[in-house]
Structure 1
Amino acid sequence: MILEGFYQVSNTTLAGDEAVTTLKINQHHEIYKGHFPGRPVTPGVILMQLFKEEAERIFDRKLQLVRADNVKFISVCDPTQDNELILESHITESGEFIKLKGMAKNSVGIVLKINSLYKAG
């Protein structure tokens, strides 16, 4: 896990190809000291990494990002305003590849939409 200490999984619900995971974000994590002092914002690359780590946890294997399409950052994720993040994912597995279509939301609304492809490593 690259994001050690950044978040905790509160709950995960799996139903077929659908996964919904609730995360509690650590607003005091080191990342926020540089991004940005006095106005913490979760970096977009970190939001993308959350989906990868969640897929790794669900499938219990390491994954490598092959491609990310239609990555859309919709709003700012400020952990001091709302430290809960919900990841909704549609995940399909085909051989050594895992395709994920996801949306990250907080109480304000949609934060990120992503379509990604991972290879099991």
Structure 2
Amino acid sequence: MRLIDSFFSVVEQADEACVTVRFHADHPIYRAHFPGNPITPGVCILKMIAELLELQGQKRLRIAVVKNLKFAAPIIPTDVPTVTIRFDKRTETETGIHVKGVVVQGEQVYTKFSLVYQYV
């Protein structure tokens, strides 16, 4: 299931290292997680990161290794409709991409990640 353009949309992409996205608070995922108090699921954040990397590299990816993942604060789409995903370090190999970065809005850090995605 693709999340781009249904669960979230790209608002701005200044370069490959910094992408601002908008959450669609009316998406069915939020009705299930949690009704009346929507919170962005962590698995959706991982999927968003993969889809943004796929757009940039034009190659399909799947999560291979979660080296480090910290959810510092919940992303409530009605309170925080947009966030910026910043890729601070990216290393491409023959088999995939190693990426480190953060999900932020202003000074607020929501997620820190160090992930390995494999090419499908």
- Output the CA distance in 2 between the equivalents of 1:49 and 1:10: 17
Question: What stretches of structure 1 of length at least 5 have no aligned partner?
Answer: none
Residues 74/104 of structure 1: CA separation in 2 closer, same or farther (3 Å cut): same
Measure how far apart 1:12 and its partner are.
1.2
Tell me, yes or no, if the aligned pair for 1:9 and 1:24 is still in contact at 8 Å.
yes
* TM-score (ref. length: structure 2): 0.91
- 2:5 corresponds to 1:7: no
CA-atom RMSD in angstroms: 1.5
Q: Which runs of 4+ in 1 moved over 6 A?
A: none
In structure 2, what is the equivalent of residue 120 of structure 1? 119
Q: Secondary structure at the match of 2:17?
A: strand
- 2:34 corresponds to 1:36: yes
Question: What stretches of structure 2 of length at least 5 have no aligned partner?
Answer: none
Task: Count how many residue pairs are aligned between Structure 1 and Structure 2.
Answer: 118
Measure how far apart 1:13 and its partner are.
2.4
The residue type paired with residue 31 of structure 1 is: I
> Within 5 Å, which residues of 2 pair with 1:75-90?
75-89=73-87, 90=89
In structure 2, what is the equivalent of residue 48 of structure 1? 46
Tell me, yes or no, if the aligned pair for 1:51 and 1:102 is still in contact at 8 Å.
no
Measure how far apart 1:99 and its partner are.
0.6
- Output the CA distance in 1 between the equivalents of 2:41 and 2:33: 7
